[in-house]
Chains A and B, each alone.
Chain A
């Protein structure tokens, strides 16, 4: 009886998620012929900005272009954040508007079904945790104080290398998500 209850509650949960993750209005918008390619193009532009700016930041911590003081390099970071937001918005359009691409498909089923999308989402979450670690370990403040030519501490380098690995991984697994999901 307990198993039945667990099964039922799992069913209710997935039905609830299916209901919440279905956005009929978005499906109508994404069904416009140019909406999907438009979102894809800005997803690409966003990823270029994200990798370009975050990549410069990570490489500087790893010891490339040491002539750059990290504090001043941080002034470019809002552009990387902007790139991430572009990807977040357009990515949400793909997943929540999937019904426009595949009739009657649902975001919940897509996330539950596509392994590449799952790995990609896990990588993004890990990149977020990595960023959190960058601040919580005090590395962010430490690298801010580094002057031109200074070497970053090992922990900062580990975090920077992890960030590079994860973001490149996000692109790789993102590109592997099949068009039909």
Chain B
């Protein structure tokens, strides 16, 4: 803790904090990195979950470098942002929720890559198993928790507002997912998806 306190007041961190531009660079990069990592992986997960079933999966592997670029952008900018207020950050429980979320989400991403794409014997489209879909759904949920935690870190110390906000995010998410599910059901998208599945089999492995 003493070390963190020293870091918080060291020459370089003070310089970054006092300069608007130097502080804004990691802040902006952190948002862009999030969009690349969370956004592109979510696109892949939506496909694995059965949306746009006519979209071939194998070429989507080429989007992994974009996701990894987003990850490293955020790891680096995250370290800089952390070093500016380390004491404030490590005394905030929400930070540990976010870090656990990042570790879990990256674990899910790597596992999905192994499970779905790393199959040298397979030249045709990878077949999706139930476990692939479960993993994609889990990874998307973990991203929701992680992004929420990241945003709520800014509200630390304001009388429990993090927890009421987190609950509000959960409630709205459940409402949105239910409304989306109902809409898809009513529009009968399942039938048209089934027609696509006929050409590009997406079945149990």
Contact = CB atoms under 8 A, between A and B. Distances in A.
Interface in A12-43: 33-35, 37-38, 40-42
A175 to B, nearest CB: 5
A72 B178 CA distance: 25
Contacts of A33: 158-159, 161, 164-165
Contact of B161 (A37, A48, A49, A55): A37
Sorted nearest first, the 7 A-B pairs with minimum C-beta distance are: A52-B39, A67-B59, A75-B52, A51-B35, A37-B165, A65-B62, A34-B165
A108 interface: no
Contacts of A38: 165, 168-169, 172
Interface of A: 33-35, 37-38, 40-42, 44-45, 47-53, 55-56, 59, 64-69, 72-73, 75-76, 79, 148, 168, 171-172, 174-176
B56 A72 contact: yes
B51 interface: yes
A52 B42 contact: yes
B66 interface: yes
Contacts of B172: 38, 42
Contact of B152 (A37, A49, A68, A171): A37
Given A41-B151, A59-B63, A48 B35 contact: yes
A64 B63 contact: yes
B32 A48 contact: no
Dominant SS among interface residues on chain B: helix
Given A33-B158, A41-B148, A76 B46 contact: yes
B24 A176 contact: yes
Interface residues of B, number: 47
Contact of A41 (B42, B54, B169): B169
A42 B175 CA distance: 13
A69 B129 CA distance: 23
14 contacts: A37-B155, A37-B162, A38-B165, A50-B35, A52-B42, A55-B39, A65-B62, A67-B56, A73-B55, A76-B43, A76-B47, A148-B56, A171-B35, A175-B24
Contacts of B42: 48-49, 52, 79
A172 B35 CA distance: 11
B147 interface: yes
Given A49-B42, A55-B66, A42 B169 contact: yes
Contacts of A176: 24, 28
B43 A68 contact: no
B39 to A, nearest CB: 2
A51 B147 CA distance: 15
B60 interface: yes
